[in-house]
Amino acid sequence: MTAALSPEEWTVIWLSLRVGGVAVAAALPIAFALAWLLARGRFPGRVLLDAIVHLPLVLPPVVTGWLLLLAFAPAGPVGSLIERWTGGTVLFRWTGAAIAAAVMALPLMVRAMRLSIEAVDGRLESAARTLGAGRLRVFATITLPLSLPGVLAGAVLGFARALGEFGATISFVSNVPGETQTLPLAIYDALQVPGRESVVLRLALISIALAVAALVVSEVLTRRSGRRLHVL
């Protein structure tokens, strides 16, 4: 086994980081809005929304990927819109891989963010309002900063989940080297061919390192938010 990574392996790593990064960046505002709605909203259908958000967590990922394929196919409801607006498609593209990763990461992100929003003491928010702050200022100066560590922890967790995405990605955008072949797909690919164990080992070690780093960062952020939320 050689320690150095081949250009193909570097391609896989960079692609994975790009797919994961774009997926989390795109999912972050959506996840925060959903977390906010689920934590603070009182509207009919909240339970249903909660269930739908969590669906990718419990469905077989292949099913999620297949549903994405139906939606984003050129004749599908979303795919036809994308084709009309951009003339392109996300199928077999890294953008499609990012969409699959975002959908799979969303439930984890919403969960973490929702917990951190729920942990913000409502008494602090009403104190801020008696001091003259309107709803928007209370959100910007109290709710958001106090829930921020949890929101970031959720994003990091989502990033780790996005890096590991396999089932939905392979059934939605297939396994195209340099385009949709992220770390898990490359490992799967290498496992299919005898004599490529060293590639598997190197990519697996990188996956483990990235996952451990993400968990540590997420844990540190969560602990910090716990300390910050302490109300005197």
Binding site for other proteins (CB under 8 A): 123-124, 126-134, 141-142, 145-146, 228-232
Closer of 46 and 135 to other proteins (Cβ): 135
Assigned token pair, 172: 């939605």
Tell me how far CA of residue 199 lies from CA of 3, 4, 7, 181, 206, in angstroms.
Answer: 10, 10, 12, 14, 11
CB of 229 to other proteins, least distance (A): 7
SS3 of residue 197 by DSSP = helix
Q: What is the DSSP string of 91-149?
A: TTSHHHHHHHHHHHHHHHHHHHHHHHHHTS-HHHHHHHHHTT--HHHHIIIIIHHHHHH
Assigned token pair, 46: 């909240």
Amino acid at 147: S
Q: Measured between alpha carbons, how far is 22 from 174 in angstroms, rounded to an integer?
A: 19
Q: What does residue 132 show for φ and ψ, rounded to 5 degrees?
A: 105, 5
Q: What does residue 193 show for φ and ψ, rounded to 5 degrees?
A: -115, 125
Place of tokens 């929101």: 151
